[in-house]
Structures are given as structure tokens and as C-alpha cells.
């Protein structure tokens, strides 16, 4: 599959998913407890305030809006105009003037070199066809000493215990919500999935190696507190459906 077709497919999917994204567990913010943990995490990861931050694959603004609340100057970029329209509406409602959104490809942002203190993303890398290329671009736009923060989960459940748990979750959800929770509506098609090298990658190691190979000093943090707070707000069926564990790969641009 060529790059244009891949990116078109990705854009199309998210342009359709935008209405329901924030309602989904593990995507939108579901409780004050969860919000508090995300704010705590970002506060810990981004010490200097205000920082100039680029949120790549910003979607409906989950991370960008938390950063705006914390006083950072944030630009969120995404391929999907519809996802960004939700982010813009939320920023406007909150009255934030320190956050903006624009269409851009995370693998080639076209942002100014050596400009940002922080480049951040959440739940993006799994859907990139060329994650190494993206990481090189993020390094380019960071100032020397700047920080890359990649927050990702193991969304592909390959452990038998996780598979069983998800199966039980789908059964329970089908009964409770009287719908087929085994349907794959709203998913990428099989050909597109083959073009995404991190889709089935469950290891933080592979991602941290990529960041290290791009010339960053790397550390990895398990995001246990946000995972715990998120699961606390989920009804049982959704808790079963979401055995993911999140990590943040953090890279400091050395030169």
C-alpha cells in the first residue's frame, strides 16, 4: 500500500470517529480522578512552565487541553480536521488562548527546527506507518535539551490471559448493551493494518530503542497511576475489555 493511500485511510477513519471518540473509555476523560492523575503526570514530566509544546496526533485535544490548563503554550497537530474541530470547540469553551490546532502529518510536521521545549503524543505511534521517520522529525523541531514524551499502550492483546479477559468483556457488553460487541466496525482494514509496524508491538523496548537510535537519551516510565484512575471509572465490562498498560518513553535531545 502506498503512503498516500495509507494516510488517506487513516484520515478517513478518524474523520468518521470524531463524534464518539470522547465518549469511549480509554480515550476521553471519564472522571475527575483520572483528570487529576493526568495533570499530575504532565506536571511531573514537564517541569518548566510555560513550555512551548507540540502535541502530535492531538485528536480531540486530550493532552493539548490539559497542557493549556497548566499554562503551557501548546500547538496540536493532526491529520483529521473533524477530530481537531472537537478540540477547537473544547478550547474555545474553556476560554484558552494558549492553545491552537492545525492539520499536519506527524511524520513530517513542517514545524520550525529547534523551536519546541517539548514534543508530546498520546496513543499515536501505533498508527504510524513510519515511526522512525516521525521520531527524527520530532527531534528536528525540538530545541537542544528539549524533551520528547511518547505515551502509548499495548493495545494489541496477545497474552492468553488478556485475550480471555477481552473475550469475557465482549460477552458481558453484548448482554448488557444488547448489541454485538464483537463487531469490528470503525477499525482499519486488514491491508492498512499491515502497514503499521507498531500496531502489534507490545514492547516498550522496541519504541525506546527507536528513540535511542534517533539520538535521544532515553528513559521509560510505567503510567500506573493514570491506568488505575482510568479503570476505577470503568464499569466491569469495559474494565475487562481494557487490559492495556500504558508507558511513557521519554527522550532528551542531546545535540
Ligand X SMILES: C[S@@+](CC[C@H](N)C(=O)[O-])C[C@H]1O[C@@H](n2cnc3c(N)ncnc32)[C@H](O)[C@@H]1O
The interface mask with ligand X, positions 97-116, x = CB under 6 A, is --------xxx---------
User: What is the C-alpha end-to-end distance of the chain, expressed in Å?
Assistant: 35
Q: Which of 90, 123, 139, 140 binds ligand X (CB under 6 A)?
A: 123
Does 120 interact with ligand X (rule: CB under 6 A)?
Answer: no
Neighbours of 147 (CB within 10 A): 22
Q: Of 174, 178, 95, 79, whose CA–CA distance to 127 is shortest?
A: 79
The span from the CA of 35 to the CA of 69, in Å, is 11
- Please identify, using beta-carbon distances, which residue of 102 and 166 lies nearer to ligand X: 102
Q: How far is the CB of 175 from ligand X (least distance, A)?
A: 27
Does 63 interact with ligand X (rule: CB under 6 A)?
Answer: yes
Q: Which of 57, 131, 146, 243 binds ligand X (CB under 6 A)?
A: 57
230 and 34 Cβ atoms separated by less than 8 Å: yes
User: Taking each helix axis from N to C terminus, what angle separates 81-94 and 3-21, rounded to the nearest 10 degrees?
Assistant: 40
- Please identify, using beta-carbon distances, which residue of 42 and 172 lies nearer to ligand X: 42
Q: Which of 41, 83, 149, 196 binds ligand X (CB under 6 A)?
A: 83
Cell of 179: 448489541
Does 38 interact with ligand X (rule: CB under 6 A)?
Answer: no
The span from the CA of 149 to the CA of 120, in Å, is 5
Q: How far is the CB of 160 from ligand X (least distance, A)?
A: 26
Site of interaction with ligand X (CB under 6 A) = 10, 14, 27, 57-59, 62-63, 78-80, 83, 105-107, 122-124, 127-128
Amino acid at each position: 500500500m502506498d503512503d498516500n493511500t495509507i494516510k488517506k485511510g487513516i484520515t478517513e477513519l478518524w474523520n468518521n470517529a470524531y463524534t464518539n471518540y470522547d465518549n469511549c473509555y480509554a480515550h476521553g476523560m471519564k472522571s475527575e480522578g483520572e483528570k487529576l492523575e493526568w495533570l499530575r503526570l504532565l506536571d511531573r514530566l514537564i517541569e518548566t512552565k510555560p513550555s512551548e509544546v507540540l502535541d502530535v496526533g492531538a485528536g480531540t485535544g486530550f493532552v493539548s487541553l490539559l497542557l493549556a490548563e497548566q499554562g503551557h503554550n501548546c500547538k496540536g497537530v493532526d491529520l483529521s480536521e473533524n477530530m481537531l474541530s472537537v478540540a477547537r470547540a473544547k478550547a474555545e469553551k474553556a476560554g484558552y488562548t494558549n492553545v491552537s490546532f492545525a492539520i499536519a502529518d506527524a511524520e513530517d510536521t513542517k514545524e520550525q527546527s529547534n523551536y519546541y521545549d517539548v514534543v508530546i503524543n498520546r496513543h499515536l505511534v501505533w498508527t504510524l506507518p513510519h515511526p522512525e521517520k516521525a521520531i527524527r522529525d520530532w527531534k528536528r523541531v525540538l530545541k537542544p535539551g528539549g524533551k520528547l514524551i511518547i505515551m502509548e499502550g499495548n493495545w494489541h492483546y496477545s497474552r492468553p490471559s488478556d485475550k480471555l479477559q477481552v473475550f469475557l468483556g465482549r460477552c458481558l457488553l453484548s448482554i448488557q448493551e444488547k448489541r454485538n460487541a464483537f463487531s469490528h466496525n470503525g477499525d482499519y482494514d486488514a491491508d492498512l493494518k499491515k502497514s503499521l509496524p507498531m500496531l502489534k508491538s507490545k514492547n516498550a523496548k522496541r519504541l525506546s530503542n527507536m528513540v535511542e537510535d534517533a539520538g535521544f537519551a532515553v528513559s521509560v516510565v510505567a503510567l500506573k497511576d493514570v491506568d488505575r484512575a482510568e479503570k476505577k471509572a470503568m464499569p466491569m465490562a469495559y474494565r475487562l475489555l481494557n487490559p492495556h498498560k500504558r508507558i511513557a518513553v521519554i527522550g532528551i535531545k542531546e545535540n
